[in-house]
Amino acid sequence: MWCVRITVLAGGVGGSRFVRGVREECARRWPDGSGGTAASMTVVVNTGDDIWLSGVRLMPDFDSLLYSLAGVNDTERGWGRAGETERVSAELREWGVGWPWFTLGDLDLGTHLARTAWLREGLTPSQVGERLQLRWPLGVRLIPATDTEVDTHVRVADVEAAQEDGRSGLEHGAVAAPEAPREREMHFQEWWTRYRAALPALGFRQQNLADARPAPGVVEAIAEADVVLVAPSNPVVSIGTILGVPGILEALTAMPAPVVGVSPIIGGRVVRGMADACLAAIGVETSADGVGRHYGSRSQGGLLDAWLVDDADAAAAAALTAEGLPAASAPLWMHDLDTSAALAGAAIDLGLGSAARD
Amino acid sequence: MWCVRITVLAGGVGGSRFVRGVREECARRWPDGSGGTAASMTVVVNTGDDIWLSGVRLMPDFDSLLYSLAGVNDTERGWGRAGETERVSAELREWGVGWPWFTLGDLDLGTHLARTAWLREGLTPSQVGERLQLRWPLGVRLIPATDTEVDTHVRVADVEAAQEDGRSGLEHGAVAAPEAPREREMHFQEWWTRYRAALPALGFRQQNLADARPAPGVVEAIAEADVVLVAPSNPVVSIGTILGVPGILEALTAMPAPVVGVSPIIGGRVVRGMADACLAAIGVETSADGVGRHYGSRSQGGLLDAWLVDDADAAAAAALTAEGLPAASAPLWMHDLDTSAALAGAAIDLGLGSAARD
């Protein structure tokens, strides 16, 4: 039925641009004669930054992809709905409910309330996701990686508590005994949005991850794919969470089609977001080759059959290839739909080419 | 501490105008020297039209009183917040969530979300009510009549089902056997808002009412009052629900202070709302004396020590007085704060006067 089946692992904002590029490239390469594509595209979406906030369930990455593919996203701000307002959010601040530094747009809140109502009716997150996709014709199927709530928490040094200790020591004229620095844990959204990832992270913990199961359709979408693309999303909290769901990495390892990754790092800097703060926490260098090595070569027990880096990192690509991870370079900046589609095309070529080589 | 303690039983919109009048009258009559009043005012608020809608808890009467006393209500429309918008509501309609005919203002939704978040944290509705009253200085204490959810349901004839029966009979060429008209039950808000109370009601059922308990402070506010005023609110679904909470009528019967009711009917017509549809369902005539008799004279086992009707119903007042329910007349239309305060003053006079007569 489908001429080619492409499955993408993706986080939110960076993932959205990339998936739009994939959709556009497929429409150009395999047109269906009516403006769409004869290719089947499935996106396995990160759920690690999902959160219950004031009794309402937010799935930010899923919604970013939904809005972006529907064309109702705010392209200037880079996230949320176009034409957004924050009337309810301002009221919640007045009531002292929620997190004052966390902004909920009104249109976005409509999505969250619909989702929450359906969850409370007993639907699973992936069933809710199906309903949400009925509103706009996306041309791409989105599936949350798991129906288990794997909200990410971040372990940080409790600087304030340490300062408190110091102050109270001074006040009392005593010398504070040296002790292990205090730690505290906060939801990823607090770390990311409130502290802009500036508090050094000591580690990440996705709740329930060991007991999580892939959402219905995820393993099938991987097993039946002609190529799996790893979007240039956060390797730790986005792609890392997807791969951490028991069964997903196994499905990727078992299936015959190639896995092609796209580097989220260009010239030693993150393309967007604050992935460097996450990489540092797990001891991975913020570089195209550092992340490539982190994912690893499939031939050596890792994830990737091929790794795509920016032309600025061509030297890294050569080094990785020499190490056993086939890597190539292409322009990775997604300035617009054309450059996103070209990048998607390069990744698809790398995958189908490497498949042809098998 | 307080020079006089006034407790009001009230529903939403009509109750709000009346309570504003009470507050104004008390400030004039018993000024505290700093713009407020030395009188203590407590409002026991109807909770019968509360509803869970899409996982969010609405307490419309409580919020009407809150907004009105805070001066943030929409005076033109007569309900909700001033300067309201409906951005989220429009989204919920797009998602097919909730009731398309039920409009949730964005500012109002902020209140509902705050309430729901606090309820989910384990607070009771009356504790939530206390928190909500911290935002604006009301000068009046609002207590929901009960923390038990006594959402009202309305039993109506299922006209559509009956029509279905007729149609299917025709289609099949059969003569439908005469049978009892079908009935169905809907939430009060659906009957009131969607059908504008136009579907003939066969009866009202407040869920859990037999097991309900007065919220903390309600019985005390009644027992310690110098006068209890029954606002010109819906006698069936507003005042009727309050009185239906086991313990409240008992407290009113037991306490020594007078109970003064204000008629919601003027010249055979409801002042506002659709109370006539509710009165018809319980077999009470839509008239000032009909409602007065429904509440009954305390000396004859009923609720009221005195009943205040409009000057247009002076004849009814005379008749009721002759029957044993002391009734008086005054201008009942609350056009503005002055007329509302004058009405409140007349009710207070009737109560404190009758107390003096005791």
Tell me what the pLDDT averaged over chain A comes to: 91
Tokens 């039983």: give the residue: B9
- Indicate the helix (H) or strand (E) that contains B39: strand B39-45
CB contact under 8 A, B97 and A118: yes
Q: Are residues A199 and A156 in the same domain?
A: yes
Residue A174 has pLDDT above 50, yes or no: no
Q: Among A6-10, A192-196, B143-147, B162-166, whose mean pLDDT is lowest?
A: B162-166
**Exposure string over A152-186, b if 16+ CB within 10 A, otherwise e:** bbbbbebeeeeeebeeeeeeeeeeeeeeeeeeeeb
Whether residues A114 and B106 touch (CB distance < 8 A) is answered with no
Q: Do A262 and A316 fall into the same domain?
A: yes
Q: Which one of A176, A206, A236 terminates a domain?
A: A206
Probe site for chain A from B57, B89, B113 (most A CB atoms < 10 A): B113
Q: What total number of domains does chain B contain?
A: 2
Phi-psi region for residue B267, left (φ > 0), alpha (ψ -120 to 50) or beta?
Answer: left
Considering the domain architecture, whether residues B352 and B225 belong to the same structural domain is answered as yes
Chain center to CA of A233: 5
Share of chain A above pLDDT 70, in %: 92
* Interface contact B118-A98, CB threshold 8 A: no
User: Which tens digit of pLDDT belongs to each residue from B116-167?
Assistant: 999 999 999 999 999 999 999 999 999 999 999 999 999 998 766 555 554 5
Is the CB of A114 less than 8 angstroms away from the CB of B92? yes
Count Cβ atoms below 10 Å from residue B336 Cβ, excluding itself: 12
Per-residue pLDDT tens for A206-259?
A: 999 999 999 999 999 999 999 999 999 999 999 999 999 999 999 999 999 999
For residues B202 and B214, membership in a common domain is answered with no
Question: Does residue B99 form part of some domain?
Answer: no
Chain B nearest C-alpha distance from A114 (Å): 6
Looking at this predicted complex, what is its ipTM? Answer: 0.87
Chain A contact for B266, CB < 8 A? no
Smallest CA-to-CA distance from A9 within A357, A287, A320, A252 is with A252
Instruction: For residue A117, give the nearest of B97, B111, B118 by CB distance.
Output: B97
**Given a cut of 80, is residue A281 above it in pLDDT?**
yes
Instruction: Tell me how long chain B is.
Output: 358
Regarding whether B248 and B185 lie in a shared domain, the answer is no
Let me know if residue B341 belongs to a domain: yes
| Nearest Cα residue to B304 out of B293, B319, B288 | B293
Q: Tell if the CB–CB gap between A110 and B90 is shorter than 8 Å.
A: yes
- Which pLDDT band holds residue A68 (cuts at 50, 70, 90)? very high
CB contact under 8 A, B88 and A110: yes
Closest approach of B117 to chain A, Cα-based (Å):
5
Q: What is the mean pLDDT of residues A274-282?
A: 90
- Taking an 8 Å cut-off on Cβ atoms, the answer to whether B110 and A95 are in contact is yes
Residue B165 domain flag: yes
Flag whether pLDDT at B244 surpasses 90. Answer: yes
Rounded to 5 degrees, φ, ψ at A189 are -65, -35
- Give A-chain residues touching B88 at CB under 8 angstroms: 88, 106-107, 109-110, 113
Distance in angstroms (rounded) separating the CA atoms of residues A338 and A234 = 23
Q: Which of A206, A226, A241 finishes a domain?
A: A206
Of B87, B97, B107, the CB nearest to A114: B97
Considering the domain boundaries, does residue A273 fall inside one? yes
Q: What is the pLDDT of residue B161?
A: 58
More confident site: A193 or A163: A193
Report d(CA B92, CA B109) in Å as an integer. Answer: 12
Regarding whether B198 and B327 lie in a shared domain, the answer is no
Decide if B85 touches A, using CB distance below 8 A. yes
CATH number of residue A48's parent domain: 3.40.50.10680
Residue B110 forms part of a structural domain: no
B175 and B49 fall within a common domain: no
CB-based contact, B90 to chain A, within 8 Å: yes
Q: Are residues A226 and A192 in the same domain?
A: no
pLDDT at A44 over 80: yes
Residue B106 lies in a domain: no
- What predicted TM-score, i.e. pTM, was given to this entire model? 0.89
Q: Name the residue among A95, A114, A135 with its Cβ closest to that of B135.
A: A95
Residue B90 with chain A: CB contacts under 8 Å = 110
pLDDT digits (tens, 9 = 90+) for B34-79: 988 999 999 999 999 999 998 899 999 999 999 999 999 998 888 8
Of B171, B206, B241, which one is at a domain's C-terminal end? B206
Q: A165-179, A215-229, B199-213, B237-251: which has the minimum mean pLDDT?
A: A165-179
- Are the CB atoms for A44 and A222 separated by under 8 Å? yes
Given CB atoms, is A123 within the 8 Å cutoff of chain B? no
Q: Residue A356: pLDDT band by 50, 70, 90 thresholds?
A: very low
Does A160 have pLDDT greater than 80?
Answer: no
Predicted confidence band at A273 (pLDDT cuts at 50, 70, 90)? confident
Domain of residue B303 covers 5-84+121-148+210-357
Do A55 and B91 count as a contact with CB atoms less than 8 A apart?
A: no
As given in the structure block, the two tokens for residue A242 are 């997807």
> Does A111 contact B at CB distance below 8 Å?
yes
Q: What angle do CA B319, B321, B325 make, to 5 degrees?
A: 120
CB-CB neighbors (< 8 A) of A113 in chain B = 54-56, 88, 91-92, 97
CB distance B234 to B11 below 8 Å: yes
Tokens 């009923």 appear where?
Answer: B302
Chain A hits for B92, Cβ within 8 Å: 110, 113-114
Q: Does A136 touch chain B (CB under 8 A)?
A: no
Residues A68 and A158 in one domain: no
Query: Which residues of chain A make contact with B107, given a CB cutoff of 8 A?
Result: 87-88, 91
What's the pLDDT tens digit per position in B260-319? Answer: 999 999 998 887 778 889 999 999 999 999 999 999 999 999 999 999 999 999 999 999
Q: Which residue of A has its CA nearest to B106?
A: A88
pLDDT at B169: 43
Residue B168 pLDDT greater than 80, yes or no? no
Measured in angstroms, the CA of B309 and the nearest CA of chain A are apart by 40
B40 plus B187 within the same structural domain:
no
Subunit contact B54:A117, Cβ cutoff 8 A:
yes
- β-strand A141-144 against A39-45: which pairing, if any? parallel
Residues A168 and A143 both lie in one domain: no
pLDDT band at A60; cut points 50, 70, 90: very high
Check B109 against A94: CB less than 8 A apart: no
Q: Which residues contact B167 (CB under 8 A, 6 or more apart)?
A: none
| Predicted confidence (pLDDT) at residue B174 exceeds the cutoff of 60 | no
Query: Which residues in chain A touch residue B70, judged by CB atoms under 8 angstroms apart?
Result: none
Tell me if B187 is assigned to some domain.
yes
pLDDT of residue B258: 97
pLDDT-derived band at B172, boundaries 50, 70, 90: very low
Per residue in A95-131, pLDDT (tens digit) is 999 888 888 999 999 999 999 999 999 999 999 999 9
Weakest mean pLDDT among A88-97, B99-108, B126-135? B99-108
Same domain for B135 and B264, yes or no, is yes
pLDDT band, residue B254 (cuts 50/70/90): very high
- Report if residue A168 sits inside a domain: yes
Instruction: Evaluate whether B309 touches B329 at the Cβ level (below 8 Å).
Output: yes
